[in-house]
Amino acid sequence: MRCRTGRSPWRNTVRRLLIGICMAVVVVGGCGGDEMTLNEYVERVDAIFVRGAEQYEAVVASPEGMVLIVGQGSHLGFDDGGAQLADFTPQDLHIALEQVAEIQAEALEAAAAIDPPEQIAELHALYFRELPIAELAARAGTAESWEELSATPEMAAYRAALAADNQVCEDFQVKLDATAERRAFADTPWIPGELTEIVDYALGCSSLVGNPEDAYRPPPVTSP
């Protein structure tokens, strides 16, 4: 699961954006479903989002938590405050990621209990996709240096998952562009830009790490 942060943005816009997700699937059949109405779906997912955001904020605010931002670059609405990876240890990452893994597990369990409307199912699965956080957390707890951790299979798997997230967003952008080219929403001028914002929010595209291969990678040692 991808954690977006910021209490006010979550509470004030998540409902509108979730409802708007429905517009993203109009081109493949519209919203509906006998098992759950869209409003019911929004209520359930909204609760998961808000709880996850609040929990993640608390982790980042902890003494070890800023390593999550420093190690991946300023994103998710947080600034690294000038801190550097060298200001933390892999054990700090271990502590922080263990908490994030718990947040992810709770969110995925809650999401699995939801039977979304059929036309929303793909987006639902895309959003609530699992990162190998627990595995990286465990390995970070045994690493003696960032160099050691950076070279582990667990870190490679984590970086690969981040890169896969980027690809998901790129693929969805292609679909959005194709929708715009077909002028499917010609009578509703707000749709193309708003639709991009909705899908970006739903998938967490703007919060993704720009260079997954650099995640938690220590800077090269320079000769004096």
Give the three-state DSSP class for 219. Answer: coil
Q: What is the pLDDT of residues 149-161, one digit of tens each?
A: 999 999 999 999 9
- Candidate ranges 77-91, 109-123, 139-153, 154-168; pick with highest mean pLDDT: 139-153
**Which residue is associated with the tokens 């929708």?**
179
Q: For residue 5, name the pLDDT band (cuts at 50, 70, 90).
A: very low
Q: How many C-alpha atoms does 165 have within 13 Å on its Cβ side?
A: 27
Kindly list the domain boundaries of the chain, sorted by start residue: 7-204
Per-residue confidence (pLDDT) for residue 117, from 0 to 100 = 78
* Per-residue pLDDT at 72 exceeds 60: yes
For 54, residues 6+ apart whose C-beta sits below 8 A from its C-beta are 7
**Which residue is associated with the tokens 């816009």?**
13
**Average pLDDT of span 193-208:** 52
- Candidate ranges 26-40, 148-162, 169-183; pick with highest mean pLDDT: 148-162
- Candidate ranges 67-71, 148-152, 161-165; pick with highest mean pLDDT: 148-152
CA gap 154, 70 in Å, rounded: 19
The structure's pTM equals: 0.75
DSSP letters, 75-91, are: -TT---TT--GGGS-HH
